[in-house]
Amino acid sequence: MTPAPRQAFDVVVVMPVYNEEGCIAAVVRAWVDTLDGLGIKAQLRVLDDGSTDSTPEALGAFASDPRVDVVRKPNSGHGPTILLGYRTASRDADWVFQVDSDGELDPSDFAPLWNARHDYDGVFGIRTNRTQSFGRQVVSLASRTIVRLLFGEGVTDVNVPFRLMRATVLAELAEAIPPGTFAPNVIISGEFGRKHFRILNVPVNHTPRRTGTSSVASLRLLRLAARSARETIRYRFAVR
């Protein structure tokens, strides 16, 4: 039997970004330095979801850096952008890691996840020291409850944007999720539990963003949470 060809990278880091001009250059540099320091054959894949500020110009500083792949795309939303990143990254690497671009989760917490990966199909962060508005607390609780009721136990922080996943597992899951899904990470977390993949949950420190503000207002957040719940429930009853 011919062995599977080795992937181009050990890990591709998928980072969706939208209007993060105040921090994106520093965040990208920190991740590149961290991956270099660990001696990993890695690529940081930054997907610019149609930013309207000076984010594209800030990312232009990395145009000649082979460690950073900047993908400029029309705006489609955070979830669809993540899914696009997953589908391409899972073809190019043995592992896929996803992190947001707001700097709220520090690259220094990546090494424990990476070092623990061998015995697992997914290593997921659990955000600690996290300060949330009441609306976000309600949304987080609702997401956890829906996942546990419909999929079972598994991933603790179901929508955490700090997750390392085996590419062969992720590729199958990402392909099954509709491309316009608002919160694909919630569904993926559920599927990791339902399909009994090997999971490790690791605490990671959450720091409030230092620049910019969240693009989702409280009322809109609740509406989007309701949408996520509907999509998650619909997905669960569509699969066996």
Decide if 1 is inside a domain: no
Decide if 190 is inside a domain: yes
Please state the length of the chain. 240
Rounded-to-integer distance, Cα 238 and Cα 240, Å: 7
Coil, helix or strand for 184? Answer: helix
**Whole-number pLDDT of residue 64:** 96
Rounded-to-integer distance, Cα 12 and Cα 47, Å: 12
Decide if 4 is inside a domain: no
**Whole-number pLDDT of residue 2:** 45
Decide if 227 is inside a domain: yes
Decide if 3 is inside a domain: no
pLDDT tens, residue by residue, 80-135: 999 999 999 999 999 999 999 999 999 999 999 999 999 999 999 999 988 766 66
Rounded-to-integer distance, Cα 153 and Cα 37, Å: 34
The tokens for 162 are 């700090």
Closest CA to 97 of 51, 40, 143: 40
Average of pLDDT values for 15-42? 97
Average of pLDDT values for 171-194? 97
pLDDT at 1 over 50: no
What is the DSSP code (8-state) at residue 73?
E
Decide if 194 is inside a domain: yes
Average of pLDDT values for 171-179? 97
pLDDT-derived band at 209, boundaries 50, 70, 90: confident
Give the whole-number percent of the chain exceeding pLDDT 70.
92
**Whole-number pLDDT of residue 215:** 52
* Lowest-confidence region among 63-67, 165-169, 207-211, 214-218: 214-218
Residues 105/29, Cβ–Cβ less than 8 Å: no
Domain residues for the domain of 193 are 9-238
Q: How many domains does the chain have?
A: 1
Task: Check which CATH number belongs to the domain holding 180 and give it.
Answer: 3.90.550.10
Give the whole-number percent of the chain exceeding pLDDT 90.
82
Decide if 96 is inside a domain: yes
**Whole-number pLDDT of residue 4:** 53
Considering the chain, what is the average pLDDT of its residues? 92
- Model's pTM, two decimal places? 0.92
**Whole-number pLDDT of residue 94:** 98
Coil, helix or strand for 2? Answer: coil
pLDDT tens, residue by residue, 44-87: 999 999 999 999 999 999 999 999 999 999 999 999 999 999 99
Which strand (E) or helix (H) includes residue 126?
Answer: strand 122-128
pLDDT at 240 over 90: no
